[in-house]
Amino acid sequence: MDCGDGVYDQLTGKCLVCPPTFLLTSVTPTATSNISYQCVCPNDAPYVSAGNTCVSCNPAEWNTTTRTCGGCDITQIYNSTTKKCFCPPGTLLNYLNKCVTCLPPAIWDPVKLGCMVCKVSFYYNLTLGACVCPSDKPYISA
């Protein structure tokens, strides 16, 4: 059976594919478990975050309740050298302290710290901070 990036587990008869950042490892089945493969975090990122990704963290900075490192939001990455949270590349920190990506047709407003989307035929004016009619069609029809 083709399992793409995963592996076919003959004991369970199912394909197992791990989420990004996890490693697929083989396990010796026991009398109480017939699992022969499992997804685990690598040694350099041993903690499973609330966002279900493997993260690296100083054990003293790991919060077992929130499953975050250094008090960061689950969308952020903790830098143990600077002791600060930051957004992954290609994302921006919004007004809720979450890292987001504005997908088209949204546009990032650096004042409102959010992704703005306008109705069809309008565009977002960064200076005004609002959706407006284009200059060649300045009137709204009824």
> Which has the closest alpha carbon to 134: 125, 126, 142?
125
Is 127 part of any domain?
Answer: yes
0.85 exceeded by the pTM?
no
CA dihedral 126, 132, 136, 139 (to 10 degrees): -160
Backbone angles phi, psi at 14, to 5 degrees: -130, 155
Total count of domains within the chain: 2
Does 118 score more than 70 pLDDT? yes
Give residue 138's domain range. Answer: 102-142
Distance of CA 72 to CAs 1, 26, 55, 84, 88, Å? 41, 32, 12, 8, 12
Is 61 part of any domain?
Answer: no
CB 105 within 8 A of CB 121: no
Supply the mean pLDDT for the chain: 86
User: 1 pLDDT band (50/70/90 cuts)?
Assistant: low
| pLDDT tens column, 74-85 | 888 888 788 888
Does 40 score more than 70 pLDDT? yes
Name the residue with higher pLDDT: 10 or 82. 82
Does 43 score more than 80 pLDDT? yes
Is 36 part of any domain?
Answer: yes
Question: What pLDDT does 71 receive?
Answer: 85
Is 58 part of any domain?
Answer: no
| pLDDT tens column, 45-73 | 899 988 888 888 888 888 888 888 888 88
Name the residue with higher pLDDT: 51 or 88. 88
Name the residue with higher pLDDT: 93 or 31. 93
Q: Distance between CA 48 and CA 54 in Å, rounded? A: 5
Is 23 part of any domain?
Answer: yes
Question: What pLDDT does 58 receive?
Answer: 84
Is 85 part of any domain?
Answer: no
